[in-house]
Amino acid sequence: MSIKILPDIVINKIAAGEVIDRPVSVVRELIDNALDAGARSVSIRIAAGGRSLIEVQDDGCGMERDDALLAFERHATSKISDDSDLKNISTYGFRGEALASIAAVSKISLITRSAKEQLGTEVIMHAGKLKGVNSVAATAGTSVAVRSLFYNMPARRKFLRQPKTEELKIKTWVLSAALGRPDVHFRLTSDGRELINLSAKQSLLDRASQFIKGSTVMLEGRSDPYSLSGIVGHPGMATTSGNRLVILVNGRVVSDRLILRAVRDGFHSTLKPSETPVGIIALELPGELVDVNVHPQKSEVRFREPGRIFNLVQNSVNRAVTGFRQPVKAYVSNPYRGYENTRTSERLQFFGKTAEDSSSGLIKARRENVSAEAGFVGNNANEESLSEDQELPVKYAALKFVGQALNCFIFLEDKDAIYVVDMHAAHERCRYNEIKGALEQGGLRSQQLLMPEVIELGEERAALVVKNLETLTRFGFEIEPLGDDSVVVRAVPTLLGSTDISLLLREIGEVLDDKQVEFVIKERLDAICARIACHSSVRSGDELTRDEVYALLEMMDRSDFAAACPHGRPVVVKFSRDQIESWFGRDR
């Protein structure tokens, strides 16, 4: 079999298979090009889920005639010049594959004009072949219309999902992209229906207020040269769908397992193993410290210092979630007034649970001031920004005790609201904090093993464990090296009890630095503290006296993170006077 050079049309189709796998891939690439062109307004129009039409129009710098033709050549780009540029990429696109790959599998037309030209240029291509070049009247900027995607690749076209599914994928991506660029106006229409219309905002937090739903807190962190900002939702909002946590690296939407794990770890025991919190994580760092050239679709990155980034994210999230002190605010359907329009409901599905898929479907979040780092959400995902009302932290012991109901719930009131407290969840949170506080103040007691345990770890893991003996000793371990690949464990923290020490040390051997060693151990202790707190708390069915109720409320007032139990469930739900009166039509 002789070796031969493939023709360009085949090469482009192969590249299209890597870069363009479905309509959302086209949208992603064209939006990246628009943003790199300096656009401040991007309008996306699709039909049949992108199968029949994807049109992206921007007000960027546009192109001159020669550049418009050259843009369809493979690896033609204005964004890098030599291999040294790959070490510090600051643009969304850089490979020059997008237009060539899209053109190879569709019928595409491009209309563009630079500000210094009187007429624009239209380029028409079908299946990678040039069909026409014309001078046309056009506004400054670029419009790309992609029709009949995969019309010349029927096998690939068969793998596309239903139009509604492809539409949702596109919508989700546009929302994520809009978070990365709050200074840009994004608009999406599908088959004539407007799905998204997000005007330009000043900051990420302003943008998030346009469509995020749920009880949230802001987070921030810095470890030069890294900086972090974002928002995370109440643990009770967490879902099994990972796409409701948006990760941005230098404004680029990415899927990153390191950051995802750090966010989840920052919530400690409040998340179930299969859950991912709702929120936005935005990491900024110098371009030379991140490699974005590791995935054909630029959806993954590789960090030069993953350990530092993990610690920054995990610690920042952990500090933020302790701010959930205010009760979540309830929404119950009002027969006299409609609640939310279709588009708002769809956005709620993107960032939070709807009433249909949430165990706490009555929750409708509003802005709540939880500390100097205030939590917030917007009430409308289009143009309404954050409300300016501020709330003082609730003092639960100052509320009037009304009674206990359904063997589990305590009812409290003040002049403006009724509060419902899950007494088991509340006591569990308080007991958990007491146990953790005692550990932090007095350190961990050790217990000697009846028989020292020899654990074989392999040379690399054993070396890391030995390197971190000082840290392990602070947590109550007594460990000695044994040869090159094993250690002897003579004592362990008392609270670890029957924990598999061998498995724990193997996990420690895989982490990157001392801070992560501490976290692996703390994670195990958190789980044990949560179990102890659960079993030592008041249970559903227990009847509390008035004095016991107020003792519990005083514990809540002293406790951090009083809005969620160690397993992430809400502790208190607030029903406002206005809400209650509206249920009975008293506000009409």
Assign 390 a pLDDT band (cuts: 50, 70, 90): very low
User: Over 60: is that where the pLDDT of 504 sits?
Assistant: yes
- Confidence at residue 369, expressed as pLDDT on a 0 to 100 scale: 27
- Confidence at residue 142, expressed as pLDDT on a 0 to 100 scale: 95
Greatest mean pLDDT among 308-312, 332-336, 470-474, 541-545 lies in 308-312
Assign 495 a pLDDT band (cuts: 50, 70, 90): low
- Confidence at residue 85, expressed as pLDDT on a 0 to 100 scale: 46
Q: How far is it, in rounded angstroms, from Cα 59 to Cα 115?
A: 10
- Confidence at residue 543, expressed as pLDDT on a 0 to 100 scale: 87
Question: Residue 393 corresponds to which tokens in the numbers above?
Answer: 């932290």
Kindly report the CATH number that applies to the domain delimited by 8-198. 3.30.565.10
Q: Answer whether 61's CB lies under 8 Å from 114's CB.
A: yes
- Confidence at residue 582, expressed as pLDDT on a 0 to 100 scale: 87
- Confidence at residue 71, expressed as pLDDT on a 0 to 100 scale: 86
User: Over 80: is that where the pLDDT of 299 sits?
Assistant: no
Beta strands in 203-262 (DSSP E): 216-223, 226-233, 245-249, 252-254
Identity of the residue numbered 549? V
Q: Answer whether 49's CB lies under 8 Å from 26's CB.
A: no
- Between 479 and 86, the higher pLDDT residue: 479
Assign 205 a pLDDT band (cuts: 50, 70, 90): confident
User: What's the whole-number mean pLDDT along residues 108-123?
Assistant: 94
Cα atoms in the Cβ-side hemisphere of radius 13 Å centred on 384? 15
Q: How far is it, in rounded angstroms, from Cα 210 to Cα 207?
A: 6
User: What's the whole-number mean pLDDT along residues 155-181?
Assistant: 90
pLDDT tens digits, residue range 557-588? 888 777 788 877 889 988 999 888 888 888 76
- Confidence at residue 77, expressed as pLDDT on a 0 to 100 scale: 63
Q: How far is it, in rounded angstroms, from Cα 532 to Cα 316?
A: 26
Q: How far is it, in rounded angstroms, from Cα 103 to Cα 130?
A: 9
- Confidence at residue 17, expressed as pLDDT on a 0 to 100 scale: 55
Q: For the ranges 131-135, 164-168, 455-459, which has the lowest average pLDDT?
A: 455-459
Q: Which residues pair with 141 in a beta bridge?
A: 113
User: Over 80: is that where the pLDDT of 343 sits?
Assistant: no
User: Over 60: is that where the pLDDT of 350 sits?
Assistant: no
pLDDT tens digits, residue range 29-88? 999 999 999 999 999 999 999 999 999 999 999 999 988 988 888 766 655 455 554 555
Kindly report the CATH number that applies to the domain delimited by 397-588. 3.30.1540.20
Residue 430 burial (C-beta neighbours within 10 Å; 0-12, 13-18, 19+)? buried
Identity of the residue numbered 313? V
User: Over 80: is that where the pLDDT of 400 sits?
Assistant: yes
Greatest mean pLDDT among 6-15, 111-120, 269-278 lies in 111-120
User: Over 90: is that where the pLDDT of 251 sits?
Assistant: no
User: Over 80: is that where the pLDDT of 422 sits?
Assistant: yes
User: Over 50: is that where the pLDDT of 381 sits?
Assistant: no
Cα atoms in the Cβ-side hemisphere of radius 13 Å centred on 192? 0
- Confidence at residue 411, expressed as pLDDT on a 0 to 100 scale: 96
- Between 252 and 567, the higher pLDDT residue: 252
Assign 3 a pLDDT band (cuts: 50, 70, 90): confident
User: What's the whole-number mean pLDDT along residues 359-374?
Assistant: 28
- If one counts every other C-beta atom within 10 angstroms of the C-beta of residue 384, the result is 11
User: Over 90: is that where the pLDDT of 290 sits?
Assistant: no
Greatest mean pLDDT among 66-75, 237-246, 250-259, 396-405 lies in 396-405
Assign 14 a pLDDT band (cuts: 50, 70, 90): low
- Confidence at residue 63, expressed as pLDDT on a 0 to 100 scale: 92
Q: For the ranges 35-49, 142-156, 179-193, 368-382, which has the lowest average pLDDT?
A: 368-382
Common-topology check for domains 8-198 and 397-588:
no
User: Over 70: is that where the pLDDT of 331 sits?
Assistant: no
Greatest mean pLDDT among 427-441, 467-481, 529-543, 549-563 lies in 549-563
- Confidence at residue 44, expressed as pLDDT on a 0 to 100 scale: 98
pLDDT more than 70, % of the chain: 75
User: Over 60: is that where the pLDDT of 487 sits?
Assistant: yes
Q: CATH: 3.30.710.10, 3.90.45.10, 3.40.50.300, 3.30.230.10. Which one for 201-393? A: 3.30.230.10
Q: Answer whether 584's CB lies under 8 Å from 283's CB.
A: no
- Confidence at residue 382, expressed as pLDDT on a 0 to 100 scale: 44
Residue 451: partners with Cβ closer than 8 Å, 6 or more residues away? none
- Confidence at residue 162, expressed as pLDDT on a 0 to 100 scale: 93
- Confidence at residue 490, expressed as pLDDT on a 0 to 100 scale: 93
Domain boundaries, the chain: 8-198, 201-393, 397-588
- Confidence at residue 399, expressed as pLDDT on a 0 to 100 scale: 94
User: Over 70: is that where the pLDDT of 246 sits?
Assistant: yes
DSSP 8-state secondary structure symbol assigned to residue 273: T
